[in-house]
Amino acid sequence: MIQSHLKAWQGTAYRHLPQGPLDPLDFSRAGLARDNRWNIQGEPTLYLARHKHVALAEMARHITEDRSPALARQVKRRQVYRFDLAFHATLDLTHPEVLAVLSITDAPQCFIDKSVARATAEFVRKLTPAEAIFVPSLAFLDRPENWVLVVFLEKLSANPGFISSVTPDGSFSIE
């Protein structure tokens, strides 16, 4: 049963934004993109990385895969923020037992297919109390400890204090 794999979690994760006067707590644009892996357009979803190097690798992967000139122009320099977080219920999709309960085979490679990733997230989002899922970083498929945290923002009205602090933590650029 999937419910037995739901876990409270408290820890740190990272987000990056273009440098400038942007508020790292402004999630109004979360979920607007059409090509996100773990949500469909319109679902308010926040993506956070375990480490700064995972955030950098994921951004570089997006630029390489998407080959979007508009995206590349936006990248120039990114401000990194450290988030201290606490969730009542998370599900770890990097854990083999969880994948077995969900009848997911060929993980993590199966998540390269966006339709598989979206369907999995949709199931968890709609049918469990999970507020967030840990998913494998596609930049580090062979290293599940380098997860990405996918946060279902609409489920956090009951947990408005899920972020205890946000701290600027350097920057990076991809040329």
Q: Residue 66's pLDDT is what?
A: 61
Tokens encoding 12: 């740190």
Tally of structural domains, the chain? 1
> Where in the sequence is the domain holding 78, given as residue range(s)?
2-17+29-172
109 is a domain residue:
yes
118 is a domain residue:
yes
58 neighbors 139 (Cβ within 8 angstroms): yes
**What would the pLDDT profile of 73-115 be if each residue is shown by its tens digit?**
656 688 999 999 999 999 999 999 999 999 999 999 999 999 9
- Residue bearing the bigger pLDDT, 163 or 65: 163
24 is a domain residue:
no
pLDDT > 70: percent of the chain: 91
Strand partners, 93: none
Distances (CA, A) of 104 to 13, 93, 95, 96, 98: 26, 10, 11, 9, 9
58 neighbors 138 (Cβ within 8 angstroms): yes
98 is a domain residue:
yes
Residue 41 and residue 33: Cα distance in Å, rounded?
6
